[in-house]
Amino acid sequence: MEKMYIIEANCETGEITKREYNEKEYAVHQANQAVEATRQAEAEAKAAAKAALLAQLGITEEQAKLLLS
């Protein structure tokens, strides 16, 4: 497990503490990173499919927007 930290600030006292993630927090962080990586991959795949379709149709993105407006 790489070292990751949480910074906690107590607004009443002004005390700031830095502590390492515990195992549960680290697992949540890893899960969130996996979800974000999946979202990014899906967005990239969608953009590539869109570009391929536009190329197949022989039109630009601007022309497609005009057709759909």
> 26-65: per-residue pLDDT in tens?
999 999 999 999 999 999 999 999 999 999 999 999 999 9
Q: What's the pTM value of the predicted model, to 2 decimals?
A: 0.66
Whether the predicted pLDDT of 24 surpasses 80 = yes
Q: Which residues span the domain enclosing 43?
A: 5-68
The pLDDT of residue 1 is 61
If pLDDT is split at 50, 70 and 90, which confidence band does 3 have? confident
Q: CB-based contacts of 16: which residues, under 8 Å, 6+ apart?
A: 7, 8, 9, 10
Total structural domains within the chain? 1
